[in-house]
Amino acid sequence: MDFRLSAADEDFQTSLLQFLGEELPPGWEGRGRWAEDDDWDFTKSLRKKLADKGWLTMHWPEEYGGQGVSPVRSALFNEEMSYNRAPGRDIFGVRMLAPTLMIYGTEEQKKEFLLPVAKGEVQWCQGYSEPGSGSDLASLQTRAVADGDDYVINGSKIWTTMAHRADWIMLLARTDTDAPKHRGISFILVDMKTPGVTVQPVHNMTGGHDFNQVFLDNVRVPKRNLVGEENRGWYVGVTLLDFERSGIDYSAISRRILSDVTEHVKNTRANGKTLASDTRVRNLLIDRYIESETARLLAYGVAWMQGEGMVPNKEASMSKVFGSETLQRVTGSCLEILGLYGQLRDGEAWAPIRGRVPEDWMHSFSHTVAAGTSEVQRNIIASRGLGLPRG
């Protein structure tokens, strides 16, 4: 592939950066993908403006209200939003649920659920993991029992990002307890306002509130909200995971951190010299920059393959595992460069770069777990990419 942007993509990048320059407050220091909860009203306002421009769903097919642009331009949009730590995206609705519905959903489901996502009017969340089912997702125990025209759902989901803000949740539930564990699972859409749904916050070690545990107690859901066939939801759910896995956000976050730290070392003196004059510091920054650029190109390679009509299954896993692990290495090296001061958090005196680096370092570990652990990704690469037998 040709990694250079087309003239049209460069024009779009210019328009997007101009828009962000006008819309983001001066000195904006949001947290990026999950900056939504920093100021929910601002997030919703910016999301509506992005939707009005058609940018939220520009990669959707025109028949569903999109612009049919290339996946490369969509990757460019996500990259610039992440690099500028801009809120407004709903990755669950736009990038995960919608393309899955386009494949498996009924015409009624597409009409009901796609338009509100495109207009930026709804927040979705994903109900996959459970307290006893993470990487071994097929062992999930949440039950959905048929009762007339409804399912009655009981169970709980955990690590449910943005559930406290969500209007709807897409979840996997077991509809046949006698079937093998990868069978007997169904993919169901649930209104979060349904009686019996409660949300309990799960605060992470950075003090942030992205995660939640969702409890479902005799939650009654109409059967028309079943996506795909009953007991065949595992295949729907796996398809959604392929849409979730991408390395572009990881590389964009990494490059922004490196940019911030590079500026810091240029302007910080120790023992009469700038930190940037230290060969060890320069080598660390150079090595991490090369890795971040490699992660970026892997992600664009996935987008290019999608635009060519190919299914980048193993390539998406390669991008995800390399990108997420690169982010860990970047934040770890930046902590090393900043030294003891680098451990200080935002609000503490002498904290460099507003204490962002230790927070990003702590948060980076979740990226190698979410959307499938690094071990799961390597198994996919080994089996589907290299044809190796299962151990």
**Tokens in use for 20?**
């962000």
Place of tokens 């902590």: 335
Give me the sign of the Cα torsion angle 367, 372, 373, 375.
Answer: negative
Cα–Cα distance between 6 and 304 in angstroms, integer?
A: 12
Closest to 228 measured CA to CA, from 100, 99, 91 = 100
Which stretch of DSSP H or E encloses residue 150? strand 150-157
C-beta separation of 204 from 359 below 8 A = no
- Is 244 designated active site? yes
Judged by phi (left if over 0) then psi (alpha if -120 to 50, else beta), residue 372 lies in left
Chain centre distance of CA 282: 31
Amino acid at 290: I
Closest to 217 measured CA to CA, from 237, 236, 190 = 190
List C-alpha distances in Å: 313 to 135, 302, 384.
Answer: 18, 9, 8
DSSP assignment of 89-105 equals: --HIIIIIIHHHHHHH-
Annotated catalytic residue, options 36, 80, 130, 244: 244
Catalytic residue ranges? 244
